[in-house]
Each structure stands twice: as C-alpha cells, then as structure tokens.
Amino acid sequence: MLNFHGFSAWVCIDGIRRDGNGTPEYDIEVSEADKTVTCWIASELGKNFSVHWKTSTYQGDTGGYVKMDGVSCAGKILRAHPLPRDTYKEGVKEGQTLRRFAFSSLSLTDDDAYLGAPSQTLPDLGVIDLDIYPIRVNGSKRRATTQQTNLATLKVHERSKKAVTQQVTLTKAEYLSKPSSYSDVTLTGPAFVKFRFKYRPMDVLRANGIAPQAPKAKVPTPPPETQKENKPLVKHEKKDVKKSKVKREADGDVIDLTEDTSRPKNKKVKLENFVQGEVIDLT
C-alpha cells in the first residue's frame, strides 16, 4: 500500500481487498515536490484488477481520477464523512453496464506504417494513474450515463514497445441491476497526491532487479523412520581369512609360520653382503 500525507492507494488483482493488502509494490519512490508516489507492480495476464484508495485525515470531499495507459477512465468521489473512508474503481460504467479492467497482451506488428501512429507515442503505456483532488459536489442524481472510454486493444510496432508487453483493456459488459449515480463536481485546488503504478510481468521485474528472485524450492527431508526404512542394505561378503600360525621360541621371540600366498613360491632373497635393515630382492 502506498501512502502520502494521509492518503493511501493500492491495486488488487483478481479480487477486492479493502484492507489495504493488495498486490505487492516494488521500488517505491516518493517525490514531495511533485506530490507523486511511484512504484512497480507485477501484472498478471488475463486477470481483472481494481484500484483502491482511502483517506484518514482530510475532512472534505475528494475525487479520485483514474487513467489506464494514459487514457482517462473517470473517477469516484469520497465524501467528507465518516473518517476513515475508502473506495475503489474496478472498471468503467457505461449506461447500466460495467466493464472491468483487465491485463491483456499488447498486439505487436513489424509493419512500419505503425511507427508514426499515435499509439506508438503513448508515454504512459504500462502505467496505472490515480490523482486525488479536493472537490466541491454541485449535485448528484441517479441516472443511466454513458462514458466514452477508449481502451481498445493497441497495435504497437515491435521497435516502439519500450519493453512493454501488456496493456489494460476492458472485459465484456456486465449488466447492473440499477443505474450508477452521476455527480457534477468542481475541482477546488491542485492534486493532493498522484499515485503511479507501473506494471510489468513478474519475470520482467525480476530480470531487471526490481522484484526479488523466486525462492528456490527446498527438497523435503524424510522423517527418521522413513530414512531408516529406505536405508540400503549392505551385503557383507565373507572373506577367507587364514589364521596366523606362530611358534614361540624359548628366548621369547615369535616366528610367523603363516604361509604368504601373495608372494610367488619361487621368490628368493639373497642375503650375501647383507647390510642390516636392507633386503635385496633378486626375483
């Protein structure tokens, strides 16, 4: 969850979490001068997501305005009371239908005709923006409204994608049981804060050192009983060991009478010119 002077924001993927425990944020940067908080999140292809925010200190009405890849997707109002209060935006309401936000693949092409297309110069491709402003609510009433939001699938030249492989699109329309409420508001000052969630697949974040590497899987150690049961049986071979035959002389010396089978029987040792401690092998 990102925080800035009493305001918080987070993104939830594949579900709604109003407790602030959204998808993890990486490499968070806070600019006091620009009132901007920026981070990276891991996008998941084909998953729906929602943008959440809340305030715990500001006493007036606020409006949160959302952009996907630089495209405006309208916003939501947080009333002055009670505190704390929160809201979220999960998609775009068009008339009496809802189309949810979703991560989808970016369509790539090698057609050079697309190099000059407006879609190639989108500076905010791969970014989810939330700007929170102080507002005055002029009035509201419940009626069916149509919001023109263009989040169609983009076709981008492969040399212009800037390492972005995904984009935000809208799912198929879901019917709402009642029309959404529409409010007429006026901005009464500059933005309190601008939250920016830059999204990329997890493998891209890890490859660039933004997200930590996945922990290595540990091989479970079997319990002692299993180790004992699986211990390989060692077959002990019997060796033909001959007992040594010894003869004890009267003066206490022991002479080994065991036959040495490792030495050829015709092996001779010459003891002429014997030097004490030396044996000359003439075999």
Q: Please tell me the predicted confidence (pLDDT) of residue 245.
A: 52
Confidence label for 161 from pLDDT (cuts 50, 70 and 90): low
Both structure tokens of 83: 């505190």
Q: Output the pLDDT for position 181.
A: 75
CA atoms of 177 and 257, how far apart (whole Å): 109
Query: At CA 60, angle to CA 59 and CA 62, rounded to 5?
Result: 125
Residue from 22, 17, 133 nearest 2 by CA: 22
3-state secondary structure of 204: helix
pLDDT value, residue 219: 77
- Torsion angles phi and psi, residue 121, rounded to 5: -110, 20
pLDDT band at 96 (very low <50, low <70, confident <90, very high): confident
pLDDT in tens, 219-243: 777 777 655 555 555 555 555 555 5
What band does 255 get if pLDDT is binned at 50, 70 and 90?
Answer: very low
Percent share of the chain, pLDDT over 70: 69
Does the predicted TM-score (pTM) go above 0.75?
A: no
pLDDT band at residue 267 under the 50/70/90 scheme = very low
CA distance 89 to 132: 13
What local confidence, expressed as pLDDT, does residue 187 receive?
A: 96
Query: Which residue did the predictor score with more confidence, 90 or 140?
Result: 90
pLDDT for residue 110: 73
pLDDT at 10 over 90: yes
Contact 168, 217 (CB under 8 A): no
Q: What is the pLDDT of residue 269?
A: 42
Residues ≥6 apart with Cβ < 8 Å to 127: 67, 69, 70, 196, 197, 198, 199
Show the CA angle centred on residue 199, arms to residues 196 and 200, nearest 5°.
155
pLDDT score, position 162: 66
Q: Is 182 exposed, middle or buried (0-12, 13-18, 19+ CB in 10 A)?
A: middle
Confidence of residue 115 (pLDDT cuts 50, 70, 90): low
For 47-67, how does the pLDDT look when each residue is reduced to its tens digit (9 = 90+)? 999 999 999 889 899 999 999
Are the C-beta atoms of 85 and 78 separated by less than 8 Å? Answer: yes
Mean pLDDT, rounded, of the chain: 79
E-strand ranges in 125-178 read 127-142, 155-157, 166-170, 174-175
Does residue 205 surpass a pLDDT of 60? yes
CA distance 26 to 29: 9
Looking at the predicted structure, is the pLDDT value of residue 203 above 80? yes
Q: For 245-271, what is the mean pLDDT?
A: 48
